[in-house]
Amino acid sequence: MKNAIKVLLVLIVPVMVATSCKKDVSENDPGKPTGGSGTKPPVENAYNNVVETKPPVQKGITINVNGNIGGYQQALPALYDSTTKRYPLLVFIHGIGELGDGSTQLYNAANVGVARLIKDKKFPPNFVVNSKNFSFIVISPQIKKWDYTTVAKDVNDMITFAINKYRIDTTRIYVSGLSMGGGYTWDYAGTYASRIAAIAPICGASGPNDSKVKTIANAKLPVWAFHNDDDGTVASSNSKNWVSKINALNPPTKARLTLWPTGGHDAWTKATSPAYKENNMNMYEWMLQYTRIK
């Protein structure tokens, strides 16, 4: 009997030792990073708490998101493929001068706004808000045609696509854009305000209507708008009227408007600059204060 027990222990102990030393290389293990699909549920790994120090990596992606978006500029944190965590999403929409097919003209979408900052390595890899570190996934879609009837759908389709493809923290989705894209931002928020955490429209080419204003105010959506008062292309009254009408409904977070006296149509260079701050926060840090409770 004693001999039988000794034999059994001899067989069991090596198996136990081998099992404890084995590295479980699963789809979510740091040794085998997840790709861009985000289909696996996130799990903790050592990389998740590493603060990004290298610039985000941007590249053009040609794909039919819908009939009016044929591609986009994708910017991912440098360590994205080594982590399993979910990231804040910033969708930034260009102006009318950057319209294109999403393929041979896709480079235009990287020449303005946040995508240009990333292209020039001037977009911070990390933001600290409330003692927490954040890095954005930035998606800059290229719109084919400025069709007023599809504006909200275009942005919503882009967000849905991004959620399905990348690891997005769906409580932290933000939308911004300039000129035409600023108008897209207002109109999207006026339709789907409850899906996003904050917006930052810049010299937005859209005037308010009462229904969209009410949607934004009722959703308690934080707004920070930017405009130059001498803008000869898109009247600053657009931004003034949106903000004043929203605030007239007494939302818990008052809509903000930064109105510079001069600068013409280009309010985006200053607005998107990480160096421009109010109350010690730039546009991105301001956004990250807010989450959308699902």
- What are the pLDDT digits (tens) for 171-209? 999 999 999 999 999 999 999 999 999 999 999 999 999
Please count the structural domains in the chain.
1
The amino acid present at 154, given as its one-letter code, is D
Structure tokens at 96: 């009318």
Q: Flag whether 210 is in a domain.
A: yes
Q: Flag whether 32 is in a domain.
A: no
Q: Flag whether 262 is in a domain.
A: yes
- Confidence at residue 41, expressed as pLDDT on a 0 to 100 scale: 53
- Confidence at residue 8, expressed as pLDDT on a 0 to 100 scale: 36
Q: Helix, strand or coil for residue 90? A: strand
For 131, left (φ over 0), alpha (ψ -120 to 50), or beta? Answer: left
Q: Flag whether 91 is in a domain.
A: yes
Range of the structural domain that residue 100 is part of: 55-288
Structure tokens at 3: 């001999």
What are the strands of the beta sheet with 198-202, ordered from one edge? 57-66, 69-76, 137-143, 87-93, 168-178, 198-202, 224-228, 256-260
Residue with tokens 């808000």: 129
- Confidence at residue 46, expressed as pLDDT on a 0 to 100 scale: 83
**Distance, CA of 285 to CA of 200 (rounded, Å):** 12
Q: Residue 73: which CATH number?
A: 3.40.50.1820
Output b/e per residue, 41-76; b: 16+ Cβ within 10 A: eeeebeeeeeebeebbebebbeeebbebbbbbbbbb
Q: Flag whether 165 is in a domain.
A: yes
- Confidence at residue 3, expressed as pLDDT on a 0 to 100 scale: 46
Q: Flag whether 219 is in a domain.
A: yes
**Distance, CA of 209 to CA of 199 (rounded, Å):** 17
Q: Flag whether 50 is in a domain.
A: no
- Confidence at residue 43, expressed as pLDDT on a 0 to 100 scale: 52
- Tens of pLDDT, residue by residue over 65-103, are 999 999 999 999 999 999 999 999 999 999 999 999 999
Q: Flag whether 157 is in a domain.
A: yes
User: How would you write the pLDDT of the chain (294 residues) with one tens digit per residue?
Assistant: 444 434 333 333 333 333 333 322 223 333 333 344 444 555 567 899 999 999 999 999 999 999 999 999 999 999 999 999 999 999 999 999 999 999 999 999 999 999 999 999 999 999 999 999 999 999 999 999 999 999 999 999 999 999 999 999 999 999 999 999 999 999 999 999 999 999 999 999 999 999 999 999 999 999 999 999 999 999 999 999 999 999 999 999 999 999 999 999 999 999 999 999 999 999 999 999 999 976
- Confidence at residue 45, expressed as pLDDT on a 0 to 100 scale: 79
pTM over 0.75: yes
Cβ-contact 225, 242 below 8 angstroms: yes
